[in-house]
Amino acid sequence: MASKQVPKQVEQAPPGLRHIAVVMDGNGRWAQRRLLPRTAGHKYGVDALKSVVRGCIAQGVPFLTVFAFSSENWNRPADEVSALMDLFVQALRRETRELAAQGVRLRFVGERSAFDTPMRELMQQAEDLSAANTRLVLNVAINYGGRWDLVQAMQALQASGEPISEESLAQHLCLADVPAPDLLIRTGGERRISNFLLWQIAYTEFYFTDILWPDFDEKSLALAMADYAQRERRFGTVHPQAPGLRVA
Ligand code: IPE
Ligand code: IPE
Ligand code: MG
């Protein structure tokens, strides 16, 4: 049997790779394997995110969307939820300036009303401070659910009285102004979406890795990109698109 070619890391993002979405999973298991509390994994997860941000900037990827907290994550034990909320506040306080200085524009997508006022203010401040940046748009999905996004878009559409179409619905989704993800990476070994972007991933390429999120870094990102570079995206067509194949 021919051995499968292992893709090499890439130095620059493959052409057409504009938007990477990441389900940052495996923090709890990373910590448990080290006999640490699960929250330690979340803490180290912030460093992994910083490394991936650096990787996107270095390789010229303009959009990164990360899943930080799902609408279902509220169902975790209360002490883990409260530790996560504390960590978000700390991370925003510590990292916003540095990210903004790197040219990152921060945006938060998800239902914000669930957060307390200090957290909502920090989110707003981070968005305001970085609003003019253009090097990398970092969308942080927090209290986000793909189903919630679709429902809020439908409600907005209904309120506006616009006719329902793919285009009009897409315009009311949280990431309306961002191209659909080209590549979705999920760390931590699970092969599922867990209510992350639903509409937007219709033609996204998936990359699943067993690496636990705190261990994921720029190099792991480069490997994911190299894997993506080998994919053939057809969007329902055939390739190479043969003239005369189309049925009139
Ligand atoms: C992802 O890591 C972070 C959040 C969901 C907030 P997990 O906490 O889900 O880690 P595992 O999957 O239990 O290892
Ligand atoms: C998805 O991971 C959410 C985030 C990474 C923020 P989960 O750990 O919550 O997903 P499930 O429960 O394994 O599906
Ligand atoms: Mg998990």
Q: Give, for all 248 residues of the chain, the pLDDT tens digit.
A: 444 555 566 678 898 999 999 999 999 999 999 999 999 999 999 999 999 999 999 999 999 999 999 999 999 999 999 999 999 999 999 999 999 999 999 999 999 999 999 999 999 999 999 999 999 999 999 999 999 999 999 999 999 999 999 999 999 999 999 999 999 999 999 999 999 999 999 999 999 999 999 999 999 999 999 999 999 999 999 977 656 655 54
Could you identify the atom of ligand 1 that is nearest to the CA of residue 26?
Answer: 14
Sign of CA dihedral 57, 105, 202, 68: positive
The CATH code of domain 19-229 reads 3.40.1180.10
Q: Where are the domains of the chain?
A: 19-229
- Ligand of minimum distance to the alpha carbon of 212: 1
Q: Residues with beta carbon inside 6 Å of ligand 2?
A: 23-25, 67-70, 73, 190, 192, 194
Q: For residues 83 and 80, give the distance between their C-alpha atoms in angstroms, rounded to a whole number.
A: 5
Residue 6 CA, ligand 2 centroid: distance in Å: 28
Radius of gyration (Cα) for the chain, nearest Å? 19
For residue 23, the SS3 value is strand
Q: How many helices (H) and strands (E) in the chain?
A: 7, 6
Q: With residue 221 as reference, give the H or E element that holds it.
A: helix 218-229
For residue 48, the SS3 value is helix
Q: 11 CB contacts (<8 Å, ≥6 apart)?
A: 59, 222
Q: Is the pTM of this model over 0.85?
A: yes
Q: Are 47 and 90 in contact (CB under 8 A)?
A: no
Q: 176 CB contacts (<8 Å, ≥6 apart)?
A: 170
Q: How many residues does the chain have?
A: 248
Q: Residues with beta carbon inside 6 Å of ligand 1?
A: 24-29, 69, 73, 84, 188
Could you identify the atom of ligand 1 that is nearest to the CA of residue 32?
Answer: 14
